[in-house]
């Protein structure tokens, strides 16, 4: 077990790969594929002519994945060289039909970048992290964007607010700069774009300086382990949540004290599992979005805003609102929703088995969508706005406090 600081000090070297046409057959189609996009030619005359034809087709391809590479040929071998040093690519070869053959795409010069997680030169003492290490990002702005799909397990991850670089890539656009900052919007990112770790614990936004720190404008993290996550603060970003966090463990929790966070929002189709989500919200400007495939047993909102756009096929056992504002624009079926303070804007189409009014406001009037509340209990006080197409099966009005039922 060791502590490894991300430094980003590796040299920048352009990747060079080669592929050899090893067997000719006119009935064979020879293909190079990058990110699911294929460039193919039919066998022609011999291996040298076939390789030349394939090189011409690759060089002429205007798709962003291929246009970022210079393609050359010598006899039966094609060479692919990254146009931007430090910006890697992944190409594969294949054949179909006939008896022709092509070798695997192999690296003759490996990509090297100060933004590559796997490069040992980017870490303290030129040693990359291993299982059970503590990984720390702090005190500079060198982004970490390449080879982020790690297989490391039981690591402790700390990302201080003093780290202002980016972690991960924008999945919506193809990165064309070695630090991921320049984008080609004509194609999505096909390379790994999220830091994947099996974490025993996660701490994000720690500030030990006593002064204001900007934080990172993009942190994308997938924690495949059961470790809990504490988010003390985030950076800012006008285009997307500066922190996008996904977990996949029914024993993991996430506490958000301040900042703007997306939980399972970056790749909405991917399953995201938490035991407990706590938006403690020391700052009223705290904003949390919960994505469609998020499963959570227990959710607490203390302060700030929470936007829930979940899957109605999922059931959340307990939701407690003490303050702030929760927007149930969509979301799972909620077994018990207890409102002690703040506001719940309940648009549906999710249903609530039991709604306990202990204070605060529940507003069902901002949508005409059909919703069902099995039991509505006015236990202490609160305000409930009924709205259209809301079915309340059982209504129990308490005798304590002040209750308001509109509609």
Residue 407 has pLDDT above 60, yes or no: no
Distances (CA, A) of 71 to 48, 375, 380, 397: 15, 67, 73, 75
More confident residue, 367 or 245: 245
pLDDT digits (tens, 9 = 90+) for 268-294: 777 788 889 999 977 788 999 998 888
The radius of gyration computed from the CA coordinates of the chain, to the nearest angstrom, equals: 26
- The pLDDT of residue 209 is 87
Pick from 18, 37, 167: which is nearest to 79 by CA? 18
Least confident of 10-14, 95-99, 326-330: 326-330
CA–CA dist 89, 293 (Å, integer): 30
More confident residue, 386 or 7: 7
Q: Is the pLDDT of residue 352 over 60?
A: yes
Query: Which residues does residue 197 pair with via DSSP β-bridges, in sequence order?
Result: 223
Q: What is the mean pLDDT of residues 195-208?
A: 96
Q: What is the mean pLDDT of the chain?
A: 93
Say yes or no to pLDDT of 312 above 70. Answer: no
What's the pLDDT tens digit per position in 30-67?
Answer: 999 999 999 999 999 999 999 999 999 999 999 999 99
300 within 8 A of 326, measured Cβ to Cβ: no
Q: What is the pLDDT of residue 403?
A: 59
**Greater pLDDT, 21 or 404:** 21
Candidates 277, 195, 266; CA nearest to 229 is: 277
pLDDT at 249: 82
- Residues 373-403: tens digit of each pLDDT: 999 998 888 888 887 888 899 988 865 555 5
How far apart (Å, rounded) are the C-alpha atoms in residues 332 and 30?
48
Percent of the chain with pLDDT over 90: 75
**% the chain with pLDDT above 70:** 96
The pLDDT value given to residue 400: 58
Q: Which two tokens stand for residue 76?
A: 């039966």
- What per-residue confidence (pLDDT) applies to 197? 97
Question: How many whole angstroms from its chain centre is CA 371?
Answer: 31
pLDDT at 223 over 80: yes
**Mean pLDDT throughout 83-112?**
98
> 3-state SS string over the chain?
CCEEEECCCCCCECCEEEEEEEECCCCCEEEEEECCEEEEEECCCCHHHHHHHHHHHHHHCCCHHHHCEEEEEECCEEEEEECCCCCCCCEEEEEECCCCEECCCEEEECCECCCECCCHHHEHHHCCCCCCCEEEECCCCCCECECCECCCCCEEEEEECCCCCCECCCCCCEECCCCCCCEECCCCCCCCCCEEECEEEEEEEECCCCCCCCCCCCEEEEECCCCEEEECCCCCCCCCCCEEEEEECCCCEEEECCCEEEECCCCCCCCEEEEEEEECCCCCCCEEEECCCEEEEEEEECCCEEEECCCCCCEEEEEEECCCEEEECCCCEEEEEEECCCEEEECCCCCEEEEEECCCEEECCCCCCCEEEEEEEECCCEEEECCCCEEEEEEEECCCCCEEEEC
- Cα atoms found within 13 Å of the Cα of residue 243, Cβ hemisphere only: 30
Domain extents in the chain: 16-109, 120-406
């Amino acid at each position: 077990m060791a502590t490894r600081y991300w430094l980003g000090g590796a040299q920048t070297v352009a990747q060079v790969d080669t592929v050899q046409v090893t067997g000719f057959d006119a009935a064979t189609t020879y293909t190079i594929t990058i990110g699911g996009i294929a460039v193919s030619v039919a066998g022609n005359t011999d291996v040298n002519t076939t390789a030349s034809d394939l090189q011409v087709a690759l060089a002429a391809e205007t798709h962003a994945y291929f246009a970022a590479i210079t393609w050359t040929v010598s006899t039966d071998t094609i060479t692919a060289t990254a146009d931007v040093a430090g910006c890697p690519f992944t190409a594969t070869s294949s054949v179909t039909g006939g008896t022709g053959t092509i070798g695997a795409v192999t690296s003759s010069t490996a990509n090297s970048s100060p933004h590559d997680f796997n490069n040992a030169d980017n870490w303290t003492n030129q040693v990359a992290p291993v299982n059970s290490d503590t990984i720390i990002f702090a005190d500079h702005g060198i982004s970490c964007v390449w080879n982020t799909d790690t297989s490391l397990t039981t690591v402790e991850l700390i990302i201080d607010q003093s780290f202002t670089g980016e972690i991960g890539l924008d999945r919506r656009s193809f990165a064309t700069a070695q630090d991921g900052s320049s984008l080609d919007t004509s194609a999505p990112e096909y390379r790994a774009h999220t830091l994947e770790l099996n974490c025993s614990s996660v701490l994000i936004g720690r500030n030990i300086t006593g002064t204001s720190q900007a934080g990172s404008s993009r942190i994308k993290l997938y924690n495949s382990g059961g470790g809990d996550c504490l988010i003390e603060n985030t950076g800012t970003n006008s285009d997307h949540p500066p922190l996008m966090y996904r977990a996949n463990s029914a024993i993991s929790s996430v506490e958000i004290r301040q900042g703007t966070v997306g939980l399972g929002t970056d790749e909405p189709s991917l399953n995201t599992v938490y035991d407990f989500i706590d938006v403690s919200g020391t700052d009223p400007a705290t904003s949390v979005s919960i994505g469609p495939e998020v499963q959570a047993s227990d959710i607490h909102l203390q302060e700030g805003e929470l936007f829930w756009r979940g899957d109605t096929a999922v059931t959340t056992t307990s939701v407690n609102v003490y303050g702030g504002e929760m927007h149930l624009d969509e979301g799972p079926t909620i077994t018990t929703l207890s409102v002690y303070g703040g506001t719940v804007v309940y648009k549906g189409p999710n249903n609530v088995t039991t709604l306990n009014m202990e204070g605060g406001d529940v507003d069902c009037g901002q949508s005409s969508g059909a919703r069902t509340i099995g039991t509505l209990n006015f236990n202490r006080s609160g305000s409930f706005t009924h709205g259209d197409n809301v079915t309340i099966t059982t209504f129990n009005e308490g005798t304590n406090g002040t209750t308001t039922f509109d509609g």
